[in-house]
């Protein structure tokens, strides 16, 4: 079963069973007349609103993430956690609404009844979908083509795992050999042929073995897979597992690290975009007086335009024009060409230094967010000149431009402005951490940290 089909099944299941749970609760609460109520409640409109509420909550809780050999018990616990959190929010929302409208107090235990009904219905839907999915896998329906990169004991363990457990959903196609090694049985080609093999054999999963033995094997594999829609899973080194350096997932006792290719699920991307739009409108409107004053001060303190408009590289390498308040003298790079800003860069104006410390120079980029060139949170967009340079200097750099750039990011709250290639390499580690752990929860954490940086004036 493809991720797209799995997502459709999950959303349909939740739509069906969340609404059935609401209908059961509505009958008990209103139609049964067992419990008094102040005013009768509509049926259809609240039902649709409440589903949308749970859909957003389930999205942010990771319940629409790809099912990767997750036990049904683990998924059941995740459902309980998400529903419990959502019911707590509903409890306080109802309490505040009753207080503001001076409504008569009805038993608060009704929310517990709704919680129980919802847990039972949604969990049943998930169990049904997963059971159906497993039956398909056991019959070889919906399984995904997989190759194993490497040789030796680790590769054999991976092959035996695939052969022994069909419910993993993998169909073994063959091995990818390493340069300099003799061809083995079922070998489809060498690591340099991986990109062509993925296309020819319609590979969906790449399992990497022997990463601890062969230098640069992992980087080579990732570089060949970066533009392909495949999952990459790696057998970690033993010291990484016991030291906690690697977050592993157990597949029938065999630990694997998953390198994400689908960074956010479709529902999470929708929620992230909605948050981007609302935040941008809110900040641009609420800060409009400050933005006007800033524009005037820029004109009064230095010659040149108010805004600095520069070409940057966006998602999937698509270029766009970024807006900032000008913090440097006009034509700062006219003679020297593109260059990173130094800590005490003489090109920065006195007022521009204040703008950078408070991050006010970045506020016009919310216009870019509304245009869908950027997101509020993401890796900072680089100029085409530097992107071309960095692709040559840093392996796997192109993964950084697979997502929309952001106004702020994990690297921005952990590091300062780029002033050299070494700074970029160091910040890239933070960017990769964000990409591999991308979530709405992490976005919220970054936004909170950015607000702290702004108010403490710790910007460069």
Q: Decide if domain 144-259 falls under CATH 3.40.50.720.
A: yes
- Give the whole-angstrom CA distance, residue 360 versus residue 340: 19
Residue 248: CA count within 13 A, CB half-sphere? 20
**Domain segments of the chain as ranges:** 3-138, 144-259, 266-456
Per residue of the chain (460 residues), what is the pLDDT tens digit?
566 777 888 889 899 999 999 998 888 877 666 666 555 567 788 888 999 999 888 887 778 876 655 567 778 888 999 999 998 888 888 777 666 766 565 656 778 888 999 999 999 988 888 888 778 777 777 788 999 988 777 788 888 888 887 777 788 999 988 776 766 788 898 888 888 899 899 998 888 885 444 556 666 676 677 667 788 887 765 444 434 444 555 555 556 666 665 667 677 788 889 999 999 999 999 999 999 999 999 999 888 899 999 999 999 889 999 999 998 887 666 555 555 555 566 788 888 888 888 888 899 999 999 999 999 999 989 888 888 888 777 766 777 888 899 999 888 887 665 556 666 667 777 888 888 788 888 898 899 888 887 777 665 5
The β-bridge partners of 208 are 149, 234
Return left, alpha or beta for 150; rule: phi > 0 is left, psi -120 to 50 is alpha, else beta: left
Whether the CB-CB separation of 411 and 427 falls below 8 Å is answered with yes
Burial (CB count <10 Å: 0-12, 13-18, 19+), residue 447:
middle
| b/e sequence 3-20, b meaning 16+ C-beta within 10 Å | beebbebbbebbeebbbb
Helix (H) or strand (E) holding 173: strand 170-177
Q: What is the pTM of this model?
A: 0.61
Written as six digits, the tokens of 15 are 């739509």
Whether the CB-CB separation of 186 and 174 falls below 8 Å is answered with yes
């Amino acid at each position: 079963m493809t991720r797209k089909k799995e997502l459709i099944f999950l959303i349909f299941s939740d739509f069906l069973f969340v609404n059935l749970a609401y209908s059961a609760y509505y009958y008990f609460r209103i139609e049964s007349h067992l419990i008094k109520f102040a005013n009768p409640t509509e049926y259809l409109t609240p039902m649709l609103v409440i589903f949308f509420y749970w859909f957003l909550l389930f999205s942010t809780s990771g319940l629409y993430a790809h099912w990767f050999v997750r036990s049904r018990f683990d998924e059941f616990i995740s459902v309980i956690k998400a529903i419990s959190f959502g019911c707590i929010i509903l409890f306080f929302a109802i309490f505040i609404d009753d207080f503001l409208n001076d409504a008569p107090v009805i038993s608060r235990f009704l929310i517990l009844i709704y919680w129980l009904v919802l847990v039972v219905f949604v969990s049943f839907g998930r169990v049904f979908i997963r059971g159906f999915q497993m039956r398909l896998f056991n019959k070889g329906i919906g399984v995904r083509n997989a190759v194993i990169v490497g040789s030796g004991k680790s590769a054999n363990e991976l092959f035996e795992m695939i052969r022994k457990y069909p419910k993993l959903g993998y169909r073994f196609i063959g091995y990818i050999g390493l340069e300099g090694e003799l061809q083995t049985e079922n070998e489809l080609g060498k690591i340099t042929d991986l990109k062509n093999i993925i296309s020819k054999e319609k590979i969906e999963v790449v399992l990497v073995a022997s990463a601890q033995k062969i230098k640069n094997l992992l980087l080579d594999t990732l570089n060949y897979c970066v533009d392909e829609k495949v999952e990459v899973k790696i057998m970690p080194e033993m010291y990484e597992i016991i030291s906690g350096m690697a977050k592993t997932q157990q597949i029938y006792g065999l630990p694997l690290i998953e390198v994400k290719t689908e960074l956010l699920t479709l529902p999470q991307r929708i929620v992230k975009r909605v948050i981007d739009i609302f935040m941008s409108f809110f900040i641009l409107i609420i800060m409009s007086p400050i933005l006007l004053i800033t524009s005037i001060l820029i004109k009064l303190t230095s010659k040149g335009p108010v805004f600095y408009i520069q070409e940057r590289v966006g998602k999937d390498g698509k270029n766009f024009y970024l807006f900032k308040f000008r913090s440097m003298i006009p034509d700062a790079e006219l003679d020297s060409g593109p260059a990173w800003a130094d800590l005490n860069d003489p090109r920065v104006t006195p007022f521009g230094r204040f703008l950078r410390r408070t991050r006010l120079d970045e506020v016009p980029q919310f216009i870019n967010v509304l245009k869908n060139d950027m997101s509020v949170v993401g890796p900072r967009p680089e100029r085409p000149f530097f992107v071309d340079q960095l692709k040559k200097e840093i392996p796997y750099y192109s993964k950084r431009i697979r997502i929309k750039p952001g106004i702020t990011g994990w690297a921005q709250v952990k590091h300062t402005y780029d002033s050299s290639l070494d700074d970029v390499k160091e910040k890239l580690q933070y960017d990769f951490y964000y990409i591999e752990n991308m979530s709405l929860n992490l976005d919220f954490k970054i936004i909170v940290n950015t607000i702290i940086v702004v108010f403490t004036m710790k910007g460069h």
